[in-house]
């Protein structure tokens, strides 16, 4: 498959064992629209791309360009990406998930 937005979405769907329908439901679009995005027949608007990225635990940069970060070892970029992802998803997280995230951050200080 080509290295396109649709191919990257399909790859992540397979990685997370998620169906097009499940992703469409999470992103609040129809399954037909999601299928068209994956096939390359349509290009989703910015907010939809952002929602797809969030649902697939990735970035819009990766979906659009295949880039995982702007530069290797670019801590600032990764920090702000993680901060935005955490803030955007905090309301959806359980107390246990929040504690696990905090513990993961604190444990890394002990190493």
Note the pLDDT of residue 98.
87
Cα(21)–Cα(5) distance, integer angstroms: 17
**pLDDT tens digits, one per residue of 3-44:** 799 999 999 999 889 999 999 999 999 999 999 999 999 999
Return the higher-pLDDT residue of 84 and 1.
84
* Domain segments of the chain as ranges: 5-65, 75-110
Is the full-model pTM beyond 0.85? Answer: no
At 4, list the tokens.
């396109």
- Look up residue 53 and give its two tokens: 């990225």
CA-based nearest residue to 56, from 24, 29, 78, 30: 24
Does residue 83 have a pLDDT over 60?
yes
Digit-coded pLDDT (tens) for 53-82: 989 888 888 898 887 654 555 665 667 667
Question: Which residue in this structure is represented by tokens 């819009």?
Answer: 60
pLDDT of residue 89: 79
What CATH number labels 5-65? Answer: 1.10.260.40
């Amino acid at each position: 498959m080509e290295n396109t937005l649709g191919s990257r979405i399909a790859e992540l769907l397979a990685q997370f064992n998620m169906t097009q329908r499940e992703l469409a439901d999470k992103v609040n679009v129809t399954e037909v629209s999601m299928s068209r995005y994956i096939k390359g027949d349509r290009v989703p608007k910015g907010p939809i791309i952002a929602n797809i990225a969030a649902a697939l635990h990735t970035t819009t940069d990766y979906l659009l360009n295949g880039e995982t970060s702007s530069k290797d070892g670019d801590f600032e970029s990764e920090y702000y990406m993680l901060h935005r992802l955490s803030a955007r998803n905090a309301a959806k997280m359980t107390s246990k998930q929040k504690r696990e995230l905090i513990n993961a951050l604190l444990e890394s200080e002990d190493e």
